[in-house]
Amino acid sequence: MTDSKGRLMQGEQTDEFLSGIDTFFFDCDGVIWLGNEAIAGAVETVNKLRAKGKRIFFVSNNSSKSVASYMKKFQRFGIEAYPDEIYGTAKVTAWYIKNKLNFTGKVYLLGSESMAEEFDALDISHTGTGIGAVVQGLDIHVNYMKMIKATSYLAKESCLLIVTNEDDRLPVRGSNIVIPGTGSIGAILRVASRRQDRILIGKPNRNIYDCILSKHSINPESSCMIGDRIDTDIAFGIKCGFKTILVYSGVSTADEVEALRKKSPEMLPDYCLPTLADLMRIP
Amino acid sequence: MTDSKGRLMQGEQTDEFLSGIDTFFFDCDGVIWLGNEAIAGAVETVNKLRAKGKRIFFVSNNSSKSVASYMKKFQRFGIEAYPDEIYGTAKVTAWYIKNKLNFTGKVYLLGSESMAEEFDALDISHTGTGIGAVVQGLDIHVNYMKMIKATSYLAKESCLLIVTNEDDRLPVRGSNIVIPGTGSIGAILRVASRRQDRILIGKPNRNIYDCILSKHSINPESSCMIGDRIDTDIAFGIKCGFKTILVYSGVSTADEVEALRKKSPEMLPDYCLPTLADLMRIP
């Protein structure tokens, strides 16, 4: 029944829903926190689900954090988390290059220090000459010389273009500030390189899931993806065959859900919630 | 006869063609010079045309140069040129804001020092609070903080987005280096601001011509645009009703002309030339 999809989850639905799910996939920014601030009640909800025996994975398109830096952030917020539960695109991109592409060449990395750490951990060389792939993540120190380098490497048709994610903005609420995301920075490369081909690692693609599956076994039917973006999180959840919940504490809005209801109802999340806290607050 | 269009100009056609043209519009980069190097014979051709009594205008999408800095460059290359003949998008953008938009507010300028000079010359304020328009040109010092500022201003729907040009690359020949152009940098703003609306000042739009017409009277039928890009220079020339010549010393290639012949023959230049020098060298 498509019409019941994309509606706010009602109190009476919660218990039945929770009992059918054994594994939760959480997006982080816009769901658990906004930048450096926790979203009210979100931390408690994650910890309560774990206490109930649910399995938890953190699946983030954010490429600026290594697993080690995620661990610090989780600790600071008082969230119980383990390295093997954390799948940001820095780690997943390194895994993909090494294990899916079996790429042994050098990459040019337009990304963060934390990304470099994940590449170092898998012995992926990202300095020197003979570049065979450009990897683009979030680089807040992006400058014109780096753009020239990246697009010049890409002029060679054999040079791969691998992008961690194409989120146009970082989630910011309650402020007039707009922070361009990895996808906005990547737009420079797309336009300047005149290349249509690229490997997209992050959500909505299922590479993060494949990386998890290389270590864990998952039953998608009893899994649920919770995210704040329709075009990445919910699309990813649907692609993996999970149940999906959209929270309104980040990027996507109730208006966008209503627009979707007419335009492409197959992309609707199963449920919506004002914030993650409402999943457990409902009696 | 469309089939004769977009062919190399033959020797016997030159005299007749030149006698029918009294005004030449030259693109600069890719036609007269490539970066800091003159294209062989190009300077002599411009000077010869002037000696023959032809009127000359320099019409460039480059936004990184003020008229004063163009004058220095022309002098260095030994080209006779006058401020009133030089129309780069730094000058034309300032003119457009002041005289076409009648905009009296403040702009946020993502561009060069030379652009700022042209804005100062017309008393267009580009510092402080209360920004009503974002103007984007070539800024080789572009950084993440500037991107955040520009897209945050653009979050306000009333804030105008004015772009000097959308050239994806700067012309470079005989090198593997690709230099992203103003249009590539602008792609960040388009994606991050999620705005489709923008005012495009440069070629292929005819604002440069309108700026010239505000001071000079021109007969388009006896005018000729010479440029190295089909999508900007030739499109501009056609839009203004000029004759058009494409030179192969910059961005567009003979292959692109052949593709055009099938796809959109109405966009073909009247003639092609290997370089500008061939316009006068032909016996």
- Rounded distance between C-alpha atoms, residue B111 and residue B103, angstroms: 19
Could you tell me if B229 lies within 8 Å of chain A, comparing CB atoms? no
**What's the half-sphere exposure (Cβ side, CA atoms, 13 Å) at B175?**
14
How far is it, in rounded angstroms, from Cα B184 to Cα B169?
A: 7
State whether B152 and A177 contact (CB < 8 Å): yes
Tell me the ipTM for this assembly. Answer: 0.90
Phi, psi of A118 (to 5 degrees): -65, -35
Percent of chain B, pLDDT > 90?
A: 90
**Complete domains list, chain A, with CATH:** 2-61+205-281 (3.40.50.1000), 90-200 (3.40.50.1000)
Give the per-residue pLDDT at B3. 72
- Identify which of B218, B237, B196 has the alpha carbon closest to the alpha carbon of residue B59: B237
**Residue B140 clears pLDDT 80, i.e. is over it:** yes
Half-sphere exposure of B21 (CA within 13 A, CB side): 25
- A36 compared with B185, residue with greater pLDDT: B185
Of B3, B27, B255, B270, the catalytic one is: B27
- A62 annotated to a ligand binding site: yes
Taking residues B32-36, what's their average pLDDT? 91
What is the per-residue pLDDT for A81? 95
Q: Minimal Cα–Cα distance from B6 to chain A, Å?
A: 24
CB B138 within 8 A of CB B112: yes
Q: pLDDT tens digit string along A172-221?
A: 877 889 999 999 999 999 999 999 999 999 999 999 999 999 999 999 99
Q: Mean pLDDT throughout A231-243?
A: 98
* Average pLDDT of chain B, as a whole number: 94
pLDDT at A150 over 90: yes
Question: What band does B35 get if pLDDT is binned at 50, 70 and 90?
Answer: confident
A3 is in an annotated binding site: no
CB within 8 Å of A148: residues ≥ 6 apart: B177, B178, B179, B180
B212-228 pLDDT per residue, tens: 999 999 999 999 999 99
Mean residue pLDDT across chain A: 94
Alpha carbons A198 and A196: distance in angstroms, whole number: 7
The pLDDT-based confidence of A283 (bands split at 50, 70, 90) is: very low
**By the 8 A CB rule, do A58 and A91 touch?**
no
User: Region A125-149: what's the mean pLDDT?
Assistant: 95
Q: Which amino acid is at B62?
A: N
pLDDT digits (tens, 9 = 90+) for B156-203: 999 999 999 999 998 887 788 999 999 999 999 999 999 999 999 999
Judge whether A60 is annotated as a binding position: yes
Q: Is the bond into A274 cis (omega within 30 degrees of 0)?
A: no
A64 touches chain B (CB under 8 A): no
Largest CA distance in chain B: 61
Residue A64 has pLDDT above 90, yes or no: yes
State the smallest CA–CA distance between residue A233 and chain B in angstroms: 19
Judged against a pLDDT cut of 90, whether residue A282 lies above it is answered with no
Binary contact (A187, B187; C-beta < 8 A): yes
Report the residue of B184, B231, B256 to disrupt the A interface, i.e. the one with the largest count of A CBs within 10 Å: B184
Residue of A136, A163, A169, A178 to mutate, testing the B interface (most B Cβ within 10 Å of its Cβ): A178
Contact A190 B187 (CB under 8 A): yes
pLDDT tier at A12, thresholds 50, 70, 90: confident
pLDDT of residue B12: 82
Q: Can you give the pLDDT at residue A172?
A: 84
The full DSSP string for chain A is: -GGGTTEEPPHHHHHHHHHT--EEEE--BTTTEETTEEPTTHHHHHHHHHHTT-EEEEEE---S--HHHHHHHHHHHT----GGGEEEHHHHHHHIIIIIS---SEEEEES-HHHHHHHHHTT---SSS-EEEEEE---TT--HHHHHHHHHHHTSTTSEEEES---SB----SSS---B-HHHHHHHHHHHHT----EE-STTSSHHHHHHHTT----GGGEEEEES-IIIIIHHHHHHT-EEEEETTSS--HHHHHHHHHH-GGG--SEEESSTTHHHH--
Give the integer Cα–Cα distance in Å for B177 and B155: 35
Question: Percentage of residues in chain B with pLDDT exceeding 70?
Answer: 99
Is any Cβ of chain B less than 8 angstroms from the Cβ of A169?
yes
Determine the length of chain A.
283
Q: Which residues of B touch A134 (CB under 8 A)?
A: none
Separation of alpha carbons B234 and B227, rounded Å: 7
The Cα A237–Cα A154 span in angstroms is 32
